[in-house]
Amino acid sequence: MTPRRGAGALDPLSPFTAVLPVLVVVALSPGHETPALVLITALALLVLADPRRGPVIALTIAAVSCVVGASLSASAPVERVGASPVVLSVGSLEIQHLQALAGLRLGTKLGAFLSLCTLTGLLARPEDLLRALVTHLHVPYRLAYAGVAAVGFRVRLATEYRVVREAHALRGTRAPLPALRPLVRAWTAAPTLTAGAVRHAERVATSMDARGFGAYPDRTERTRATWRPRDTVVVLAGWALAAVLATGLSRHGVALRNL
């Protein structure tokens, strides 16, 4: 077995371990200050982790958080959040102060969760994370490699779907309205994708049987996830941030149920 290469690479398990306590603190936070701080920090880390895709992902997460927060602010029942002064009035729509706080709280929490989970995905591929679980936590490799096969299945299905779409674009699609053509293409691709999925599943099953998958309690890996000092630093930094945020919970209390 050889360790992973790359001077700046992290162990796939370290980002997940670092953000896990932060996610717990965000979930238990009764207000919007802590989730907002985590959201801003995570969005900045997204941009730094991947300068090419990070800004687009950060803007998407921020937009989703704003839409969800605004929707809840406009639809939150007053009898549940309590009556308060009106802070925004647009026609017949009136948003009260507590309604706005409820929407802000949910929007920032959702954004913090999405940004942290996306950050771990940018720092480690799903396949590497599953292999790291086998290496460090001694998860049975039969379970982990079932997940690896599922991820590979998704990639294979996406490739076949792209080929089907290219074929439909070359020979044209019969649809009464141009706006319906994407829907017709997706619908007509279903039989082809189903047949391709069955063929791929048969090939994977045959390959696993030929290699004696599951015959032994462990297996030899060509690559090995190596825990390095930088991984310890990342985990300690995440836990330190969670500890700092948790001090605010000790003063304001814990919310197990929020709107």
pLDDT tens figures, 58-97: 999 999 999 998 888 888 777 777 777 777 777 777 788 7
pLDDT tens figures, 107-129: 999 999 999 999 998 888 888 88
State the pTM of this model. Answer: 0.73
Which candidate, 141, 150, 114, places its Cα nearest to that of 42? 114
Q: How many CA atoms lie within 13 A of 64 on its CB side?
A: 15
218: alpha, beta or left, given left = phi > 0 and alpha = psi -120 to 50? beta
pLDDT tens figures, 117-172: 999 988 888 888 888 888 888 888 778 888 888 888 888 888 888 888 888 777 76
**Measured between alpha carbons, how far is residue 55 from residues 42, 66, 109, 241 in Å?**
12, 16, 20, 23
pLDDT tens figures, 15-38: 999 999 999 999 888 888 889 999
Structure confidence at residue 2 (pLDDT) = 41
pLDDT at residue 208 above 80? no
Express as a percent the part of the chain with pLDDT over 90. Answer: 23
**What residues contact 32, with CB distance under 8 A and at least 6 apart?**
101, 104, 105, 108, 109
- DSSP string for residues in 142-206: HHHHHHHHHHHHHHHHHHHHHHHHHHHHHH----SSGGGHHHHHHHHHHHHHHHHHHHHHHHHHH
